[in-house]
Amino acid sequence: MKNIFLTFLTGASLFLTSCEKDFEEINTNPNKPKTSLSYALFNGGNKWFMDYTRYYTTSGKLIRSWMQYTAQDTYTKESRFLYSDYSGDYIWRFGYQVAGQYKEIIELNTDPKTKTKTAAYGNNDNQIAAARIMMGYVMSMLTETFGDIPYYSWHGKDNPKFQALQLDKYISPEYASQEDIYADMLADLKEAVEQIRTTDPTTGRAITNVFTAGDVIFGTPQKMRKFGNSLRLRIAIHLSDVEDNNLKQLAINTIREIVNNPTVYPVMESNADTVELMYENNDTNPSPIYRNYFVNRRTDYSPANTFVDILKGTRGSFGQDPRLQKYFAPIGHTKYQVRAGNYREESDINKYKGMTYGIDEEYSDSQFDSEKGVSLFSKKILSADYAEVLMEYSEVCFLLSEANYIVNGTWDQTSYEKGIRASMEKWGVSSSDISTYLAHIASAGLQANQENVITQKYIALYMNPNEAWTEYRRTGYPNMLIKHGETVPLNKNIGGMTSYVFTSLVAELTDIPARLQYSTEFKNINFYNYRKALEARGMSEDSMAKKLIFAKR
């Protein structure tokens, strides 16, 4: 993943006499330092990955839209599953580029020539653990998005099946199977967590940071440990019902190990443990949604009618949700008014209206009405310094509720309620409103089970759409998303029409896509292995309908 710039010398005699002697010097990029700063690689990699997985071309037009958190306001083809090649390419390209940076951090901390110097920026073991955990995070998203992929991990670096990020050995890497990837990923994450140091082995002093600078997501080794264990629990639960018996048993054993040993393998315990990347309060490094709305001066998407109606209680069975006013602004306000906070939260739920999801482009503007016909994101979300979430405490609560079912046979009610409470507290819902909501779902008989836990997880994952997409494919919940062929009311009548029919533009899809197609850019330069990957999964063509191994069968 490194760019190497060749300097071509002019003059035949100079070239002939110095070619061999000066090749190493010639083959060096003068703009790249010989030794990178590990904390700069970590900070830059984390930001790039969040930028390009939450940016409007990847998340806003694809995953966030497919999960019907948002709807496109003008160009609606992606909402109907016909997406541009570059949208998927961004996830692929920047996923591997960032993974390459994490690999370089590991090498800086293990190479005898650089590890002593790099230790000035944090304990070597902790830097390696941070890079391995984030490598696992990135690789898990890649395989959950595409399926079989070229793969790399520090644990599996000598495995000939795992050929990614090793250009000196593999110019055209093979695609590893999902089964092999996940088994290695669980092992690598476990090793990484166990590698974390909280005290200096030489001095006995407490270690209070992971990196001395540039780490804005973990901060302390303890928080990083909880994230690593929580991520491992998430992945294991994804795999807890796969067809491959060996992988299924590995996943169940991993879940059992974590939940039965909370002292050894602690997971997130409060909202303070949530791992997120806060952006800067300016127009140079703002959050992805702010960049789309205010830097690029576009409004490509806004909250979807599906999700707004779920929180209004008019779609589904959970009733009115107090996060309605925290997630969205009432109708009739421009994005500049919302950003400035020039609106008030309304108790009248009719003041909240989502954009009609996946409507034909011919009619989209009539529904959007130049921003004033629909609710926009709330002021918090439209802030330049909004914090994009990698993983949050409420999700872990829902994972623990399901983990109890996997290990003991019953969904845990206490963890389920903690997840709802944690999500609402994070968004600033009052204690009284939280108690009223929890009392309502108890009286309505909406106790902890798969449908209710996953539906509440979906609501809490509002700004983490990739994980919501994985959960939908894995479980089929929430079951109230708009489906192909469904008739949906319009926000505003069009020439006597009061409703529209949501229609997929991809013939093979009558439900949300099961995966993204492989990167067009990469498959063209690695065509042989790309075709092998398709054949290994029984695909004659690259299909968005092909279910991945964790998907509901």
Rounded percentage of the chain residues whose pLDDT exceeds 70? 93
Distance CA 370, CA 372 (A): 6
Tokens 């802030």 correspond to 383
pLDDT at 33: 53
CB 484 within 8 A of CB 511: yes
Burial-class residue 535 by CB neighbours within 10 Å (0-12, 13-18, 19+): exposed
User: What torsion do the CA atoms of 279, 285, 291, 294 make, to the nearest 10 degrees?
Assistant: 100
Q: Is 199 helix (H, G, I), strand (E, B) or coil?
A: strand
Q: What pLDDT, on a 0 to 100 scale, did the predictor assign at position 90?
A: 83
The structure tokens listed for 475 are 């479980």
Mean pLDDT, rounded, for 268-278: 98
Using one digit for the tens of pLDDT, what is the confidence trace for 95-140?
A: 999 999 999 999 999 999 999 999 999 999 999 999 999 999 999 9
Share of the chain above pLDDT 90, in %: 80
Each residue of 317-353: pLDDT tens digit?
A: 999 999 999 999 999 999 999 999 999 999 999 999 9
Long-range CB pairs of 155-163 (<8 Å, 24+ gap) are: 155/184, 155/187, 155/188, 155/191, 156/184, 156/187, 156/188, 159/184
Residue-level pLDDT at 372 = 81
* Per-state percent for the chain, helix, strand, coil, to nearest 5: 50, 5, 45
User: Which run of H or E residues covers position 276?
Assistant: strand 275-278
CA atoms within 13 A on the CB side of 146: 32
pTM of the predicted protein model: 0.92
- Does 25 or 198 have the greater pLDDT score? 198
Is 90 exceeded by the pLDDT of residue 468? yes
pLDDT tier at 191, thresholds 50, 70, 90:
very high
What local confidence, expressed as pLDDT, does residue 553 receive? 78
pLDDT digits (tens, 9 = 90+) for 408-430: 999 999 999 999 999 999 999 99
Q: Examine the pLDDT at 384 and tell me if it is beyond 60.
A: yes
Nearest to 363 by CA among 80, 79, 73, 84: 73
Read off φ and ψ for residue 104, nearest 5 degrees: -65, -35
What is the rounded average pLDDT for all residues in the chain? 91
221-241 confidence digits (pLDDT tens): 999 999 999 999 999 999 999
pLDDT tens track for 275-303: 999 999 999 999 999 999 999 999 889 99
- Residue ranges of domains in the chain: 1-32
β-pairing, 387-391 with 497-501? unpaired
When pLDDT is cut at 50, 70 and 90, the band that residue 202 belongs to is confident
Q: Is the pLDDT of residue 359 over 70?
A: yes
Question: How far is residue 6 from each of residues 43, 325, 492, measured CA to CA in Å?
Answer: 28, 56, 60
The pLDDT tens digits for 6-49 are: 222 223 332 233 333 443 443 444 545 556 899 999 999 999 99
- Per-residue pLDDT reduced to its tens digit, 489-533: 998 888 888 999 999 999 999 999 999 999 888 888 899 999 999
Instruction: Output the CA angle 407-410-411, nearest 5 degrees.
Output: 100
Instruction: Give the DSSP H/E element, type plus range, for residue 471.
Output: helix 465-475
Alpha helices in 111-220 (DSSP H): 115-118, 124-146, 178-195
Confidence band of 60 (pLDDT split at 50, 70, 90): low
CB 294 within 8 A of CB 335: yes
**What is the rounded average pLDDT of the residues 67-81?**
91
